[in-house]
Every structure is written in structure tokens, then in C-alpha cells.
């Protein structure tokens, strides 16, 4: 058990370059924090001398709430920023926005942006620890970590297990982070979905492409079903929602035909009746609400481990 | 490394037995008392005390839990080594109960301070007491004293008290002194 290990990186920008031990460490600490958030008083004082800025340049409900809750449960001071109500509208550049926020002495920055690489850009320029909460179609590391944590909780060790990612792979930062993270934990990862939504180079990542959803579900221990991201589609990638649902939507009928039903995950928000029917989403096969609960614990672990790397300033 | 035996196997058995007598004297009848061991090193002492109380004092099942204080410590971000957490297993209610905190060695008192905070997350006990096997005198950094202590010891700051457990039996307690005292 790497009980005493420290994270090797100052930031959490993506899982591509995070070593497997760091992922294990975060998952292990998430277990401790899950116990904390099930206590009668769900708050510990660890980060009470720290300030966290949540910079959301792109809309988000659950990720933002989850981060905010994680920060508050660690007793950090929290400042929130959302692009729609800020000076970004007045034409301020990212660099200026960020330097202004940092002049307010922020220790950790959680950032979501519609452009890939913004978290990296920030990490090179600011003294704070940076956590990527989703950058364009690039990565969403904490989502992948909470997916892995939820899988581990439901089916045990992930070594040698099989996970299929279903749907809109092309526009999904969740898919990419899942692939990088799960492979480091020894998981066989496959993808399935309309061929227009599968990036051509995906096999270079060591990912298998399965054409039929039924074959994929039969093969897998876990199906991570992605949301169809209409907002990122600049043209028609499939003929109609109905057609999509017919070929790649998960229904009870489909699951009932399987020898063994895989665990169903979905990063939310669900398009009910598109990727999943309501019946499946609300069935015991789905761990969607577990994912939401675990999200807070995983984010607490990430923030705590990053914060533990730097000593408090201006104390002596 | 110089070693000195503080308690041999017989002393250990006698001391734990005495602690049980003292606790029982105050806490009988046992319906309102909860023993809480501090992770990681108070856990074994907790088990030993609970086993002996249940076996020899007709206490019935003794309510007990394990508490990890990592997230309540005051040296987070102030030490070289990151802190390690252990599981908390508090499947008992402490609201309105008489709680005894169990730990192996009382040194600076900071762990106990953190434990009092952590305990507050689970409710408001009627009263909290402290039971330790070894009380290192004259080394307290906070105003905290034990209610029950196995053995009082005078040890220098660079010395360490070590408990040797074999399974659930305490075999000996040693005082270890490094050859070279680190600079303070």
C-alpha cells in the first residue's frame, strides 16, 4: 500500500501523463473521504487556510456543484466565477482574468473551459495548483477518476476487467480521460458507437472498436455510456435521434438478451430515451447516482493531495 | 540504537488488566459507555481492552469504534512526510454517551486534541475521558492529561516508545534511543 506516497505532479491536468501510482493513491484517499461524507457532520478542517477558485468558462451544473461541495467539506474558502456573469463578456483576455483572480491570493484553481489545453496554459503561468474540470474535447480527469472509483466499488479490482465506452467518443473528454486512466489500471478498453463519432486514430491508443452494441455489452464488465453532445456537433453525425436510439440506445430489452448484464455508468446529464431509456437509468444495473456521490469524495481526495504538497505561506 | 524495556510481557498483562479494573469501576453499568480507539496505533489496545472487559467483567458487549484523526490534525501542510489516513469505523452512536478515547502513547497531546475535534463530527458525548498505555510525562504541548494511564515514563524528545504486539497480545514496551540525538 503506497500509504505515504505523494502525488508526483503539482497539478491535475489530465490522466495521460499521470502515473498509475498517483491514480491508485487518489482512489485510495477517495475511500477515506467517502467515509467522511457519510458522517453526521460531513466536514473536516484540513483545507481551512486555503482558498479555491472555481473558474467555469463553460456551463456546468454537476461538476461545479461537486467541486464546490468537495471544497466546502474540506473547509476551504471558495470563490466562484462563471463566464456568463463576468468581465469575459466585456472582452477581458483569459490571461488577465486569471492574473486578477490570482492577485486575490488563491491557492488552488479549478478550471473548465471550452478550449482544449487551457488548464495547461494556466498551470504554466500561475503559482497555484490547477485542477482541470474539463477542457474542450480533451480531458476531464476527475470524471474518469470517479468512474474508476465507482467501478472499483461495484465490481472490485479493475485489473484485467473489460470496459466499453458507448456513444459519442469524438466529442467526449470523458472518453479520453477514461481511456488513459483505465488503461493505467490494467483495464481492457473498447469503444462502440456510430462510426462518424469514433475518431479514426482511436486504435493507436490501444483501444478496440466494436461495431455492434450488443456484442460490446456481451463482452464488457462495465459500459460507460456517454451523452450525445449536441452542443459540440457542428454538422449531422447521424441521421436522427431516433435512429441513434435504435442502434446505440441501451434498453431493457437489449439487456435482457445478455447472458450477464454489465454495470452501467453515465457521466450525466442523461438524455433519457436517447443513450439510455429511463427504465435502464433507474434500474439497479446503473450506478449513476453512486457516481455523483463518489464524485465529491474523489474531488476531495484530489484537492487534499494537491494541497498537501505546499506549505502554508506567511505563517512565520 | 540503545533499547530499554519499559514493560515486559508479564507487566503488559498486569497493566492492561489494571486499566480494565479502573475503567470498569467508573463505568459500571456499561449501557452508556463507548470505547473509541485512535487509528492506527490505538486499535490493538482497544481490542485488547474490549476483549478483557467482556470476558472478565460481565459488561455485555462493549460498544466501540475506531477513529482516524488525519483530517483533523494541525500539522497538515507543515511536515515533510504527507499524512497517512486509516479507515474510521464508527458504527456506534456517541450522542449523550460517555466516551473513552483509547491510544497507545500520550506524547504532545496533539493527537488527542485532533481526536476531540473528530469525535465532534459524530455527536456530542456526555463526557470524554482518555486512556493511554504509556504517558510520556513533561512532553505535553497542550493542556491534556489522561484519566487512566498504564505507565508514566520520562523520555527525551528524540527517544521513541515502541509497543510490540504479537497478534492481539502485547509482548513488550520498549524505549528506543538513537545513538545520535537529532539537532533540535
The domain spanning residue B171 has which CATH number? 3.40.50.2020
**A164 contacts A214 by C-beta, under 8 angstroms:** no
Domain count, chain B: 1
Examine the domain organization and report whether A155 and A134 are in the same domain.
no
Residue A198: inside a domain, yes or no? yes
Residues of chain A with C-beta less than 8 angstroms from the C-beta of B123 = 40
Examine the domain organization and report whether A166 and A196 are in the same domain.
yes
Examine the domain organization and report whether A259 and A145 are in the same domain.
yes
Instruction: Please give the residue of chain A at the shortest CA–CA distance from B73.
Output: A46
Residue B114: inside a domain, yes or no? yes
pLDDT at A93: 81
CB contact under 8 A, B77 and A41: no
- Tell me the C-alpha distance between A293 and A287, whole Å: 10
Examine the domain organization and report whether A124 and A170 are in the same domain.
no
Give tens-digit pLDDT for B13-36.
Answer: 999 999 999 999 999 999 999 999
**With the CA atoms of B31, B37, B43 and B47 taken in that order, what torsion angle do they form, in degrees rounded to the nearest 10?**
-20
Q: What is the mean pLDDT of residues A279-301?
A: 96
Give tens-digit pLDDT for B101-133.
Answer: 999 999 999 999 999 999 998 999 999 999 999
Antiparallel, parallel or unpaired: β B169-177 and B160-166 = antiparallel
pLDDT at A98: 75
Spatial CA neighbour of A295 closest among A22, A7, A27: A27
Domain count, chain A: 2
**B57 contacts B26 by C-beta, under 8 angstroms:** no
Mean of the per-residue pLDDT values for chain B? Answer: 92
Chain A contact for B120, CB < 8 A?
A: yes
Residue B182: inside a domain, yes or no? no
Neighbours of B85 (CB within 10 A): 22
- Tell me the C-alpha distance between A194 and A177, whole Å: 20
Antiparallel, parallel or unpaired: β B98-106 and B63-67 = unpaired
Q: Which residues pair with A53 in a beta bridge?
A: A79, A109
- Tell me the C-alpha distance between A227 and A249, whole Å: 11
CB contact under 8 A, B120 and A41: yes
Examine the domain organization and report whether A92 and A131 are in the same domain.
yes
Examine the domain organization and report whether A145 and A288 are in the same domain.
yes
Range of the domain at A106: 20-140+293-307
Examine the domain organization and report whether A151 and A268 are in the same domain.
yes
CATH number of domain containing A69: 3.40.50.1370
Give tens-digit pLDDT for A94-109.
Answer: 888 777 877 888 999 9
| DSSP secondary structure, A275-304, as one string | TB-HHHHTSTTB-HHHHHHHHHHHHHHHHH
Residue A4: inside a domain, yes or no? no
Min distance B124 CA to chain A CA atoms (Å): 11
Examine the domain organization and report whether A117 and A150 are in the same domain.
no
Q: B83 phi and psi, to 5 degrees? A: -75, 150
CB contact under 8 A, B78 and A44: no
CA distances from B108 to A19, A173, A225, B58, B144 (A): 37, 48, 52, 35, 9
Interface test with B, best of A30, A35, A297 (most B CBs within 10 A): A35
Give tens-digit pLDDT for A237-285.
Answer: 888 899 999 999 999 999 999 999 999 999 989 999 999 999 999 999 9
Residue B68: inside a domain, yes or no? yes
Range of the domain at B145: 2-73+86-177
- Tell me the C-alpha distance between B20 and B14, whole Å: 10
- Tell me the C-alpha distance between A122 and A82, whole Å: 17
Residue A183: inside a domain, yes or no? yes
Residue A118: inside a domain, yes or no? yes
Amino acid at each position: 500500500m503506497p500509504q505515504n506516497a505523494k502525488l508526483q505532479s503539482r497539478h491535475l491536468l489530465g490522466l495521460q501523463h499521470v502515473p498509475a501510482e498517483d491514480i491508485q493513491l487518489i482512489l485510495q484517499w477517495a475511500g477515506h473521504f467517502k467515509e467522511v461524507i457519510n458522517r453526521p457532520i460531513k466536514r473536516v478542517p484540513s483545507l481551512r487556510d486555503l482558498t479555491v477558485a472555481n473558474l467555469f468558462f463553460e456551463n456546468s451544473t454537476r461538476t461545479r456543484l461537486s467541486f464546490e461541495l468537495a471544497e466546502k467539506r474540506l473547509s476551504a474558502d471558495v470563490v466562484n466565477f462563471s463566464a456568463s456573469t463576468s468581465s469575459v463578456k466585456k472582452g477581458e483576455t483569459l490571461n488577465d482574468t486569471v492574473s486578477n483572480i490570482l492577485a486575490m491570493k488563491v491557492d488552488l484553481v479549478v478550471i473548465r473551459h471550452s478550449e482544449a489545453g487551457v488548464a495547461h496554459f494556466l498551470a504554466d503561468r500561475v503559482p497555484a495548483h490547477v485542477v482541470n474540470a474539463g477542457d474542450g474535447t480533451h480531458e476531464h480527469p476527475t470524471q474518469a477518476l470517479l468512474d474508476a472509483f465507482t467501478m472499483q466499488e461495484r465490481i472490485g479490482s479493475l485489473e484485467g476487467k473489460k470496459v466499453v465506452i458507448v456513444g459519442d467518443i469524438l466529442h467526449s473528454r470523458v472518453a479520453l480521460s477514461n481511456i488513459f486512466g483505465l488503461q493505467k489500471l490494467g483495464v481492457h478498453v473498447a469503444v462502440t458507437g456510430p462510426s462518424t463519432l469514433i475518431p479514426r486514430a482511436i486504435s493507436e491508443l490501444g483501444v478496440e472498436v466494436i461495431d455492434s452494441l450488443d456484442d460490446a455489452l456481451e463482452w464488457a464488465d462495465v459500459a460507460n455510456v456517454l451523452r450525445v453532445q449536441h452542443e459540440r456537433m457542428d454538422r449531422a453525425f447521424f441521421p436522427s435521434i431516433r435512429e441513434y436510439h435504435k442502434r446505440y440506445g441501451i434498453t431493457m430489452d437489449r439487456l435482457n438478451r445478455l447472458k450477464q448484464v454489465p454495470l452501467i455508468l453515465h457521466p450525466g446529464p442523461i438524455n433519457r430515451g436517447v443513450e439510455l431509456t429511463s427504465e435502464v437509468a433507474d434500474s439497479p444495473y446503473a450506478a449513476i447516482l453512486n457516481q455523483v456521490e463518489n464524485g465529491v469524495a474523489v474531488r476531495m481526495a484530489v484537492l487534499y493531495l494537491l494541497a498537501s504538497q505546499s506549505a502554508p505561506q506567511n505563517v512565520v | 540504537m540503545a533499547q530499554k524495556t519499559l514493560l515486559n510481557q508479564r507487566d503488559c498483562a498486569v497493566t492492561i488488566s489494571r486499566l480494565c479494573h479502573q475503567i470498569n469501576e467508573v463505568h459500571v453499568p456499561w449501557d452508556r459507555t463507548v470505547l473509541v480507539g485512535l487509528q492506527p496505533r490505538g486499535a490493538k489496545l482497544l481490542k485488547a481492552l474490549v476483549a478483557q472487559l467482556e470476558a472478565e467483567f460481565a459488561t455485555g458487549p462493549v460498544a466501540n469504534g475506531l477513529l482516524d484523526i488525519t483530517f483533523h490534525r494541525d500539522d497538515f501542510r507543515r511536515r515533510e512526510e504527507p499524512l497517512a489516513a486509516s479507515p474510521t469505523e464508527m458504527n456506534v452512536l456517541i450522542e449523550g454517551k460517555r466516551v473513552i478515547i483509547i491510544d497507545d502513547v500520550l506524547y504532545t497531546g496533539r493527537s488527542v486534541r485532533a481526536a476531540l475535534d473528530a469525535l465532534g463530527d459524530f455527536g456530542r458525548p456526555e463526557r470524554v475521558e482518555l486512556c493511554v498505555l504509556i504517558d510520556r510525562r513533561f512532553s505535553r504541548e497542550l493542556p491534556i492529561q489522561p484519566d487512566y494511564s498504564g505507565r508514566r515514563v520520562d523520555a527525551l524528545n528524540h527517544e521513541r516508545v515502541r509497543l510490540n504486539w504479537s497478534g492481539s497480545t502485547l509482548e513488550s514496551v520498549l524505549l528506543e534511543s538513537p545513538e545520535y540525538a537529532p539537532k533540535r
